[in-house]
Amino acid sequence: MWDYPLEALREALINAVCHRDYTIFSNIEVRIYDDKLIIRSPGFLPYGITLDELYKPHSSNL
């Protein structure tokens, strides 16, 4: 029995590999805790988008 849908895990890992910044010498991290799963991919937000703006409609989610 999986805690997360396999399709969601697959999509998250594919996104981490495809959208990471390969100019940054770092690794993709997968951390598993009792209450959450964190997948961290090195890179930055696109120019002009802030963290606050991710909660509003913006060009990457239209």
Q: List, run by run, the mean pLDDT of 10-residue segments along the chain (62 residues).
A: 91 93 94 94 84 78 61
Question: b or e along 13-42 (b: 16 or more beta carbons within 10 Å of the residue's beta carbon)?
Answer: eeebeeebeeeeeeeeeeeeeeeeeeeebe
Residue 1 lies in a domain: no
pLDDT at 62: 60
Q: How many domains does the chain have?
A: 1
pLDDT at 61: 62
**Residues whose CB is less than 8 angstroms from the CB of residue 42 and which lie 6 or more positions away in sequence, other chains included:** 20, 21, 24, 26, 27, 28
Give this prediction's pTM.
0.71
pLDDT at 18: 92
pLDDT at 47: 81
Residue 14 lies in a domain: yes
pLDDT at 53: 82
Between CA 24 and CA 51 the distance in angstroms is: 20
pLDDT at 31: 96
Residue 20 lies in a domain: yes
> Which residues form the domain of 29?
6-61
